[in-house]
Structure 1
């Protein structure tokens, strides 16, 4: 069994909880509260900005052009393609995408980013990949599960979102990350493999928490009061 298959098997419990989460299931049913969509878009826009920065750190730690190309392609995908599902959510929520940008991160998203940044700065490429991979991997499988379960057509309000993440491009990019991770895992110590597994599972946990954060419109316990001029 490859290392990435081992990771998937060990974290199947979290993947299943993600598939059953009311926000995710609501996408399949075509019924997600507007406020949850808005909260998700605001947080995910800033989350993906940080995600690209972490890919950039991976580029800086790459020892060959193949790895540089791998992470460069991932940055390009997030920057140029992953705006499309955001636009689908905006259309259904009745908001303008540009108005959803620049908001402070809710606690869970803030923690998730700092978790990945920690592994990016202190870990090797394998550890970075383990911290990053649950995001594209869970979204790929969400798209596949919702397609199989709900068979959305062009009239489905979230059909563009579901089709985007179930698409062959996402599968291909995720597969490349998995393949590189499997190669790196073959030459590291058992201690490092343990660190990699811990980074992966925590990111899976935080993927689940991110959906809950959006669905409940999570905010910081005490909001800053801006004084009137």
Structure 2
């Protein structure tokens, strides 16, 4: 049995992750049949989500006692607010959207619930609870890209190919591996709270599924 706690957590949520990689939004995006308006909706919602994710990383870093781990989390946050958001700025332009469109859009009910879950966990929990909460976001995107990689060469929609290709790069895999490593380095210490961490990991994974489903349905507020 592996002593890497991230692998143990992953093995316990296979049912959720299988539903994620096979969600219609994901499969249609990778084969190019996803309606563009659904992708536009997703991008606007995800931009708002990324702002919250960066805040969560700052909260996590402020609690870490290991300077090396703190630096790695802060570097991750810096990448999100520079490279990641800059890529999204270019993506918004290619979709005929602007930052004003993002700012004016009210995050959906599911998005708000997910962001509040992350903020609460990262603000009130331990730094490792926070890391476990944000891990499915990074890791599932890597798994999705690998699972559907063979579809990209035949995908007729350039913006979908460009978006998906990012998650197949060695650089992105390194980000996921680095985040996992911070958690795995404390595996012996964290195993005493495994059930608590598993609950957080499953909840975050479930929210990842719900985020795709929200985007596919283009979820709106009732009033």
Tell me the matched-pair count: 218
CA contact (8 A) 1:37 1:89 kept: no
Q: Which has the higher contact order (CA 8 A, sep 6+)?
A: 2
> Which protein is richer in helix relative to its size?
2
Q: Does 1:209 align with 2:206?
A: no
Structure 1 match to 2:221: 220
* Correspondent of 1:80 among 79, 82, 85: 82
CA-to-aligned-CA distance 1:110-135 (integer Å, 9 cap, x gap) = 00011111111221121111100000
Once the two structures are superposed, residues 130-169 of structure 1 have per-residue CA deviations (whole angstroms, 9 ceiling, x without a partner) of: 100000101111111221x314269642111111011111
| 2:15 alignment partner, one of 13, 16, 32 | 13
- Return the TM-score normalized by structure 2: 0.90
Q: How does 1:60-209 map to 2 (within 5 A)?
A: 60-83=62-85, 84=87, 87-88=90-91, 91=94, 94-102=95-103, 103-147=105-149, 149-152=150-153, 156-157=157-158, 158-188=160-190, 190=192, 192-209=193-210
Instruction: Tell me the distance in 1 between the aligned counterparts of 2:185 and 2:194.
Output: 12
Residue of structure 2 equivalent to 1:24: 26
Tell me, in whole angstroms, the C-alpha distance in 1 between the residues paired with 2:79 and 2:215.
23
Unpaired runs of at least 5, structure 2? none
Note the C-alpha offset of 1:89: 6.9
Structure 1 distance, partners of 2:100, 2:148, is 28
TM-score with structure 1 setting the length = 0.88
Provide the aligned C-alpha RMSD in A: 1.9
Q: 1:89 to 1:27 in 2, by over 3 A?
A: farther
